[in-house]
Structure 1
Amino acid sequence: MRRFVLCCLTVLILGMSCLWSPAAQASLQDDRFDGNIFALYAGNGSLVPPRMPLSQAIAEHRPSLLVFYLDDSRDCKQFASVVSQLQAPYGRVVEFIPVNADTVQGDRPQDPAEAGFYYQGVVPQVVVFDQQGKVRLNQTGLVAYDAIDDALRSVLDLPARSQTETTRPRILNEINTELVQ
């Protein structure tokens, strides 16, 4: 009887501790790992893994957008929505190639067809390639949507924004932090 009571108390205490544990909170304002930043903060888990590596995109003469990121970087979390917003108008004609900077290890590759060749050690970093594999934009930090849009328009021979209807990125006003089962 004594064992039964002790077992019941143990189960009760463990059960109650689960109810009092703090909930996991994803946040744009810290450098904590919360999971895939494109799925969490941009609502777009389709970016990772990329459809093809940079070497294949260059070999197939596809314009490409290479993004170096870290899942535990505040700046990368904030920048994820910009990348996702760019995929809406350009996703069918431009290869989006997000590369986790943690995977770029050791010596810098000598082959310009390898993504690590372009990594500058700062995240986020955006590199835009034209159809011939020539770099048309290479910037680090929170690069503005308009700067990347201008580079992609140039690569695709599209009219400048000043000659077309302005396409503004939608404002991100809510982040989905629920896990739906």
Structure 2
Amino acid sequence: MPQEAPTPSARQNELLEAAYRYALAHGLTDLSLRPLAEAIGSSPRVLLFLFESKDGLLRALLARARADELALLGQAGQTDGPTGLAPAVERVWAWLAAKEHRPLLRLWAEAYTRSLVQPDGAWAGFARATVEDWLGVLAGFQPPAERDSEDGATRRTLALAVLRGALLDLLATNDEKRLTEAVVHQLALLQDDNGLG
């Protein structure tokens, strides 16, 4: 029987939250323990003790970012308005396009890319897990019969491709108006073809 991971201490949670805020502002790729520790009122030695290694800290930060992203994406798709995948994708896009979410989305893009080029260590499996995360969120917006069908899986995969492509373009260009028009246009085409309901 596998052992459960120990429950994080209050200090570990406090430092993780502070490190997460730091990562949102500074990124993860060039993360160095000494500047991080100084910025969050700790020491490299304490961080290594609490997280076991720099990779352990990175894994905790990636898990924290995924949890934040999933909670916010799930909330973004909920409404009292029209239901179904296309209206939810439009609401999720509005959330993704909001300027205040750019730090989290840059962190996601950085980790996603790093996971593809360095598929081991702290980054192992991040890209694949985040694809599965987003597909799971999108499945939650589909009616049960659609969600459980092969066509339903294709529809949410297409919706994810539209969102991801537009998101990467947005992070590169900040051209929110052009991309919002493109996402809305694509969703209308998909609905006309009964691709997203």
Q: Tell me the TM-score normalised to structure 2 length.
A: 0.26
Q: Which has the higher helix share?
A: 2
Q: What TM-score comes out, normalization by structure 1 length?
A: 0.28
Of the two, which has the highest radius of gyration?
Answer: 1
Higher percent of residues as strand: 1
